[in-house]
Amino acid sequence: MENTTKTALITGASRGIGRRCAHAFAAAGYDLILTCLHEKQKLHTLQRELEDAYSVRCRGFLCDAGDYEEVRQLFSQIDSLDVLVNNAGISYIGLIQDMSPADWNAVMAANLNACFYTAKHAVPLMLTKGHGRIINVSSVWGNVGASMETAYSASKGAVNAFTKALAKELAPSHIQVNAAAFGIIDTDMNRCFTEEEIGRITEDIPAGRMGTCEEAASLILQLAEAPAYLTGQVITMDGGWT
């Protein structure tokens, strides 16, 4: 009998939003392919945790999603895929005149190039199946920009445009492409801010707090299971901030 279990690939899965996504998708019955950059032990522990808790198949790989050759090697080990969650990313906080070209290129590789590399290899697998979902994790700064985060804002703005354009390209093939643009979420990436700085930020958020990784993962899962007519959208979740 044909296996009807769906498979999701989640990048940047060892912590934060990616880790919660792994739990959410496993709880929904998806088999998982999880990647992270270098936290092999965390990924292995998560893999066992998910298999034990949800009885799903789970594979973990170290992979720099911003490196084309590493992504190509990753996909050489994947023969079926229903959902791609492009979650891996990095930030850079600082004045543009202090930013090196290497820092700029690193942000673009991790946040934007990675979406291209993974989609390039995921789309043929989805075409074979006749359906698929691609969800790109973006940011409100991709919508409105942020001082001191020019490269990050530019990369996420490009992710938003990439999402809308690719959705139009793939809609005739029954592959939906959407993005989730988050406000400030309680992740390790935002632990660079002091408690006082977080307090000032949350004062400006109507919801009065940061979002949780569980809330972010819930939205991403909803996008993976949304009606097929929902495509090309950048859904903002920021507590009413922007």
Instruction: Give me the catalytic one of 54, 92, 117, 152.
Output: 152
β-pair type (83-86, 7-10): parallel
- Give the per-residue pLDDT at 2: 53
Say if residue 229's pLDDT is above 60: yes
Report the percentage of the chain scoring pLDDT > 90: 93
CA distance 19 to 13: 5
With bands split at pLDDT 50, 70 and 90, how would you rate the model's confidence at 3? low
With bands split at pLDDT 50, 70 and 90, how would you rate the model's confidence at 1? very low
What residue numbers bound the domain in which 109 lies? 7-237
Decide if 152 is catalytic: yes
232 within a domain of the structure (yes/no): yes
The first and second tokens of residue 173, run together, are 């093939």
Torsion of CA 225, 228, 231, 233, to 10 degrees: -50
* Angle at CA of residue 110, ends 119 and 104, nearest 5°: 135
199 within a domain of the structure (yes/no): yes
Average pLDDT over residues 96-108: 98
β-pair type (31-36, 7-10): parallel
Lowest average pLDDT, out of 34-48, 144-158, 189-203, 209-223, goes to: 189-203
With bands split at pLDDT 50, 70 and 90, how would you rate the model's confidence at 126? very high
Say if residue 209's pLDDT is above 90: yes
Total of domains in the chain: 1
Residue with more model confidence, 193 or 100: 100
Average pLDDT over residues 78-95: 97
185 within a domain of the structure (yes/no): yes
97 within a domain of the structure (yes/no): yes
1 within a domain of the structure (yes/no): no
CATH number of the domain residue 83 falls in = 3.40.50.720
175 within a domain of the structure (yes/no): yes
Across the chain, what does the average pLDDT equal?
96
Say if residue 93's pLDDT is above 50: yes
**pLDDT single digits (tens) 42-77:** 999 999 999 999 999 999 999 999 999 999 999 999
Say if residue 170's pLDDT is above 80: yes
242 within a domain of the structure (yes/no): no
2 within a domain of the structure (yes/no): no
Average pLDDT over residues 6-28: 98
